[in-house]
Amino acid sequence: MHDPRALIEMGPEAVRRLARRGYTLDLSALESLQSRRSQLILRVDELRAETKRVAQDVQHAARQGEDTGALKERAREIKELIRSAEVEQEQAQTELRNLLLTVPNLPLDSTPEGDSDEHAVELRRVGAPQSFSFEPKDHVDLGEALGILDFGRASKLSGSRFSVVRGAGAAIERALAALFLDLHTKRHGYTEHSVPYLVTRQTMTGTGQLPKFEEDLFATSMGDRELFLIPTAEVPLTNLYADEIIPPADLPLALTAYTPCFRSEAGSYGRDTRGILRQHQFSKVEMVRICDPKDSQAELEKMLGHAEACLKELGLAYRVVQLAAGDLGFSAQITYDIEVWLPSQQTYREISSCSDTGVFQARRAGIRTRDEHGKTKPVATLNGSGLPIGRTLAALLEQGQQHDGSVVLPEALVPYLGFRRIAADGTTEA
């Protein structure tokens, strides 16, 4: 969430930067709400000051034996005026906050122009896509032939956009999570967390999922208690420090968690609905970093390297792109996507997003630190996928497929699996 004074001071510059991402800022409405709120705060302060003066006048008149009736009546009038002004002030504050909650983050000027993945700028490619002497299958056909993916039974249980992974496939998913967590905790310095999968509306608001993206979330309720299923571990990990002041000496913080993620994917029907690329439930290892705002860009590069390390460990071909301003997530000011090669589609597909949100989420969630003078200020927060399990499994199947229908897996997974190859009949071999 933005500081309204900062947006107003930026004026046309704020309008220009937000327009790059397709958002029209109503600057006059913002100025009007901010002015009204400020005037009401001043009005309440003036009335409270008058209350003190009248109280002193009552005491003085009483000591002099004078009639205090008129003064007491004025004190009652002021009390009512304060109550009324406070109600108006709260209404103005709510209107201002509601407006600010819908304003996305300002993209950095370094983000490319454009509003779709077609406008992303490629930064580098790592690993050469395989050349096959046969027509490569997609992960759905491979997984079903090997007996490790079952979409029919998943549909029977939960409807469309779910999957059942079994046998060697389930073992690979478990192994991937363990490998990624080991990389992040033992090599990259993250602290692993086990977090709730159900969170409050306030928690969802802190990281920017609410109020704008409520249709993308799964919600549940027990009586008057409302909870949301997390769409990513970014939500609980970042909000662990909501309404706290983090000592500067503790920064940066590096947090990771392996959780299921739940997304309604509203509006995405027809896109990637085949297989495990876009599902209502999937698992992911998430990275979150919290730092001083001046260090956020360096921390983003560091996090991107940590996500890339997972793919390098698996020997998967991928590329890194920088998203265009109009394609950024609501809370991000800059985002790098990592896209893994899928032979069946002959293209790169997103497997990780690493974003710097600056102080945007921290202002919403009340996460602060102190400057060199001891004054509180918002921290910067960053998040990145490191990595999603389903999409990584799909890439492993497709990039590791052989002409005989078997799949060869990366050496890095063998210590976690105990096998290197899945034969065409679904049996595993060292």
Q: Is residue 265 pLDDT above 90, yes or no?
A: no
Ligand-binding site membership of 406 (annotated) = no
Distance CA 68, CA 76 (A): 12
Instruction: For 362-414, write each residue's pLDDT tens digit.
Output: 999 999 999 999 999 999 999 999 999 999 999 999 999 999 999 999 999 99
Residue 311 contacts residue 387 (beta carbons within 8 Å): yes
Single out the catalytic residue among 37, 263, 289, 364: 263
Q: What is the 3-state secondary structure (H, E, C) of 187-236?
A: HCCCEEECCCCEECHHHHHHCCCCCCCHHHCCEEEECCEEEEECCCCHHH
Ligand-binding site membership of 232 (annotated) = yes
Ligand-binding site membership of 324 (annotated) = no
* Domains with residue ranges and CATH for the chain: 4-102 (1.10.287.40), 117-429 (3.30.930.10)
Q: How high is the pLDDT of residue 166?
A: 97
- The residue-averaged pLDDT of 15-41 equals 96
Instruction: For 107-128, write each residue's pLDDT tens digit.
Output: 999 999 999 999 999 999 999 9
Single out the catalytic residue among 125, 278, 349, 421: 278
pTM attached to this predicted model: 0.93
Which tokens is 315 given?
A: 């020997």
Ligand-binding site membership of 233 (annotated) = yes
Q: Is 353 a catalytic residue?
A: yes
Angle at 160 between CA 157 and CA 166, to 5 degrees: 55
Single out the catalytic residue among 163, 344, 353, 406: 353
In single-letter form, the type of residue at position 309 comes to A
User: Smallest Cα–Cα separation from 237: which of 281, 274, 289?
Assistant: 289
Q: How high is the pLDDT of residue 274?
A: 80
Q: Which helix (H) or strand (E) holds 30?
A: helix 27-63
Distance CA 1, CA 363 (A): 6
Ligand-binding site membership of 264 (annotated) = yes
Ligand-binding site membership of 411 (annotated) = no
Ligand-binding site membership of 35 (annotated) = no
Q: How high is the pLDDT of residue 266?
A: 64
Q: Is 153 a catalytic residue?
A: no
| CA–CA distances in Å: residue 342 to residues 138, 311, 351, 400 | 8, 13, 11, 11
Residue 229 contacts residue 220 (beta carbons within 8 Å): yes
| CB-count burial class (<10 Å; 0-12, 13-18, 19+) for 67 | exposed
Q: Mean pLDDT in the chain?
A: 96
3-state DSSP assignment of residue 350: strand
Q: Is 391 a catalytic residue?
A: yes
Instruction: For 126-177, write each residue's pLDDT tens digit.
Output: 999 989 999 999 999 999 999 999 999 999 999 999 999 999 999 999 999 9
Single out the catalytic residue among 21, 350, 368, 398: 350
Place of tokens 């949301």: 228
Residue 400 contacts residue 122 (beta carbons within 8 Å): no
